[in-house]
Amino acid sequence: MANKRRIIRGLGPNTVVRCRLGHVFTTMWIPGVSFKAVRLGWARFQRCPVGRHWSVVRPVDPDELTAAEKLSAAHHRDVRIP
Ligand SMILES: [Zn+2]
């Protein structure tokens, strides 16, 4: 449970997530609120802007990202909800 509590704090308008293929990008992730994605607990099904495909994505701890992954997250951002 400690791990889950830690992840909750990282959620919000600038949540770093990783898709099934390993792409890393930034998206909006508000717990308990469904926007354009189907919520699957701690995973969501949404479009990956890196590979331009649909995939299950999960929040990742920014501290666990490599330098390349942080760069990817900074450059790939999901489209904001108007
Ligand atoms: Zn991807």
Q: What is the pLDDT of residues 5-48, one digit of tens each?
A: 555 556 788 899 999 999 999 998 877 655 555 555 678 889 99
Q: In Å, how far from its chain's centre is CA 35? A: 13
Q: Indicate whether 82 belongs to any domain.
A: no
Centre of ligand 1 from the C-alpha of residue 24, in Å: 7
pLDDT of residue 1: 46
Centre of ligand 1 from the C-alpha of residue 51, in Å: 4
Q: How confident is the model at residue 67 (pLDDT cuts 50, 70, 90)?
A: very high
Q: Which domain holds residue 65?
A: 2-75
Q: Indicate whether 81 belongs to any domain.
A: no
Q: CA–CA separation, 72 vs 55, rounded Å?
A: 17
Number of domains in the chain: 1
Centre of ligand 1 from the C-alpha of residue 28, in Å: 16
Q: Indicate whether 80 belongs to any domain.
A: no
Q: Is the dihedral of CA 60, 62, 63, 69 positive or negative?
A: positive
Centre of ligand 1 from the C-alpha of residue 3, in Å: 24
